[in-house]
C-alpha cells in the first residue's frame, strides 16, 4: 500500500538522521537516548511488514513520539541542521497520518493496538439498539438526550483497538491543544477531538479542513486564515478555525453541550433522520450503521470507520 511504503521510507530516513547525530554528539546521555529511539524505529519497520492502515497509523504515532524524545535529548550543539531535519521528519509523518485517516479509511482492529484500553464488557443492549432520537436542533431540547446517550455508551469490543489508537493520539497532542485552550478558553480535549476528526491528528495541516499550512486553505472553508500571511503555524490556524466557529465565545463546556457543539460542527443531517450521528457515536453501542458517503448522499448500510467523538471524550474523562 502506497501510504505504508511512504511511512517506511520516512522512518528509514529518520533512522539515518539519528545515526548521524549519534556519531557526532559528545553527550553520552544523548547517544544512549538516540540508540534506544533508533531501536524503537527499527521495531516500527518490522511492524509495518504486512501492516494494515490502522497499524501503520499507530506506527506513525509511536515514531513521532520517539522523534520528540530525540529533540528533547539534544541539549547541546553543534546541531548542524539536525533539529531542522527532525522537524522535517515530523512534518512528513504528520501528513502521512492525515492521509491514513482520509476518506474514513482506517480499518477495524483485529487485535488490540499497542497501549490499548482494556476491552469493555458488552452493553446489555444490542449494538445499535436505541430509542428514536429527537429531530430538534435546539440544545434545550437535547440536553437530557445527550447526557443519557453519553452515560450508556460503551466501546463495542471489535473496535477497542481503534478507540485505543484515537485516545493515544489525543493524549500525544495534549500539549499543543492546551496552548489553544490558554488562548481562547476552549477545553483542550474538545480541540483535540476536532483535530482528530477533521485532520487525522495532522499537525502539518489547517484545523479548518486539513489543508497544508504552507498556504491558505484551498478547500471549504477557502482562503483562511485571512489576517496573516503563510506559512502558518498550527496554533495560528487552530485559533482562526475556532474563532470562525465562534467557539471562543462559548461558556458552557458541560458534556451535553460539548456533544451538541461537536454534532453541529459536523452538521445535523443525521439528527433530522432521527438517528445517532457516527461523528459522535461510531464504534459504540449507540450507533450501528447509516452514513452520508458524499454531500447529500445517505447510505443506510454504510458503516463509519472513524472513532466517534463521544468515545474519545468519555475515555479522557475517566
With a threshold of 0.75, does the pTM exceed it?
A: yes
CB 303 within 8 A of CB 291: yes
Asked if omega into 254 is within 30° of 0 (cis), the reply is no
Residues 150 and 21 in one domain: no
Residue 211: the pLDDT is: 92
For position 106, what pLDDT does the model report?
A: 74
Domain boundary among 45, 72, 101: 101
Residues 15 and 96 in one domain: yes
| Residue 102 confidence (pLDDT) | 73
What range does the domain containing 57 cover? 2-101
Residue 127: inside a domain, yes or no? no
Residue by residue, what is the 3-state secondary structure of the chain? Answer: CHHHHHHHHHHHHHHHHHHHHHHHCCCHHHHHHHHHHHHHHHHHHHHCCCCCHHHHHHHHHHHHHHHHHHHHHCCCCCCCCHHHHHHHHHHHHHHHHHHHHCCCCCCCCCCCCCCCCCCCCCCCCCCCCCCCCCCCCCHHHHHHHHHHHHHHCCECHHHHHHHHHHHHHHHHCHHHHHHHHHHHCCCHHHHHHHHHHHHCCCCCECCCCCCECCCCCCCCCCCCCCCCCCCCCHHHHHHHHHHHCCHHHCCCCCHHHHHHHHHHHHCCCCHHHCCCCHHHHCCECCCCCCEEEECCEEECCCCCCCCCHHHHHHHHHC
Q: How many domains does the chain have?
A: 2
Instruction: Kindly give the confidence (pLDDT) of every residue in the chain, 318 residues in length, as a single tens digit, with 9 standing for 90 and above.
Output: 789 999 999 999 999 999 999 999 999 999 999 999 999 999 999 999 989 888 999 999 999 999 999 999 999 889 989 999 999 999 999 999 888 887 556 766 543 344 444 343 343 444 444 557 999 999 999 999 999 999 999 999 999 999 999 999 999 999 999 999 999 999 999 999 999 998 999 999 999 988 999 999 999 899 999 999 999 999 999 999 999 999 999 999 999 999 999 999 999 999 999 999 999 999 999 999 999 988 889 999 999 989 999 999 999 997
Question: Given this model, what pLDDT does residue 100 score?
Answer: 85
What's the confidence (pLDDT) of residue 113? Answer: 41
Q: What is the pLDDT of residue 127?
A: 41
Q: Is residue 84 part of a domain?
A: yes
Q: For position 318, what pLDDT does the model report?
A: 79
Question: Which of 177, 197, 70, 111 minimizes the C-alpha distance to 62?
Answer: 70
**Same domain assignment for residues 143 and 96:** no
Residue at 120 is within a domain: no
- 90 and 143 share a domain? no
State the pLDDT at residue 17.
98
Amino acid at each position: 500500500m502506497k501510504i505504508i511504503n511512504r511511512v517506511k521510507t520516512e522512518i528509514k530516513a529518520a533512522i539515518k538522521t539519528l545515526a548521524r547525530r549519534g556519531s557526532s554528539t559528545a553527550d553520552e546521555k544523548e547517544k544512549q537516548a538516540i540508540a534506544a529511539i533508533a531501536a524503537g524505529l527499527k521495531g516500527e519497520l518490522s511492524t509495518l511488514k504486512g501492516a494494515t492502515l490502522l497499524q501503520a497509523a499507530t506506527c506513525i504515532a509511536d515514531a513521532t513520539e520517539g522523534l520528540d524524545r530525540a529533540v528533547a535529548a539534544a541539549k547541546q550543539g553543534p546541531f548542524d541542521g539536525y533539529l531542522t531535519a527532525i522537524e522535517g521528519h515530523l512534518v512528513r509523518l504528520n501528513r502521512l497520518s492525515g492521509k491514513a485517516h482520509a476518506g474514513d479509511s482506517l480499518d477495524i482492529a483485529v487485535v488490540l493496538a499497542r497501549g490499548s484500553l482494556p476491552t469493555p464488557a458488552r452493553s446489555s443492549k444490542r449494538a445499535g439498539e436505541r430509542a428514536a432520537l429527537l429531530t430538534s436542533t435546539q440544545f434545550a431540547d437535547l440536553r437530557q438526550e445527550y447526557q443519557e446517550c453519553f452515560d450508556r455508551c460503551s466501546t463495542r469490543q471489535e473496535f477497542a483497538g481503534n478507540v485505543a489508537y484515537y485516545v493515544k493520539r489525543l493524549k500525544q497532542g495534549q500539549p499543543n491543544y492546551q496552548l489553544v485552550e490558554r488562548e481562547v478558553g476552549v477545553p483542550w480535549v474538545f480541540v483535540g477531538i476536532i483535530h482528530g476528526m477533521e485532520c487525522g491528528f495532522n499537525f502539518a495541516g489547517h484545523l479548518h479542513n486539513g489543508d497544508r499550512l504552507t498556504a491558505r486553505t484551498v478547500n471549504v472553508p477557502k482562503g483562511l486564515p485571512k489576517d496573516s500571511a503563510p506559512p502558518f503555524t498550527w496554533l495560528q490556524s487552530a485559533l482562526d478555525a475556532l474563532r470562525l466557529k465562534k467557539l471562543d465565545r462559548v461558556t458552557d463546556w458541560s458534556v451535553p453541550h460539548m456533544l451538541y457543539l461537536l454534532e453541529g460542527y459536523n452538521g445535523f443531517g443525521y439528527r433530522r433522520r432521527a438517528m445517532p450521528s457516527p461523528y459522535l457515536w461510531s464504534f459504540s453501542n449507540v450507533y450501528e450503521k447509516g452514513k452520508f458517503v458524499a454531500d447529500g448522499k445517505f447510505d443506510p448500510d454504510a458503516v463509519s470507520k472513524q472513532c466517534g467523538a463521544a468515545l474519545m471524550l468519555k475515555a479522557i474523562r475517566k
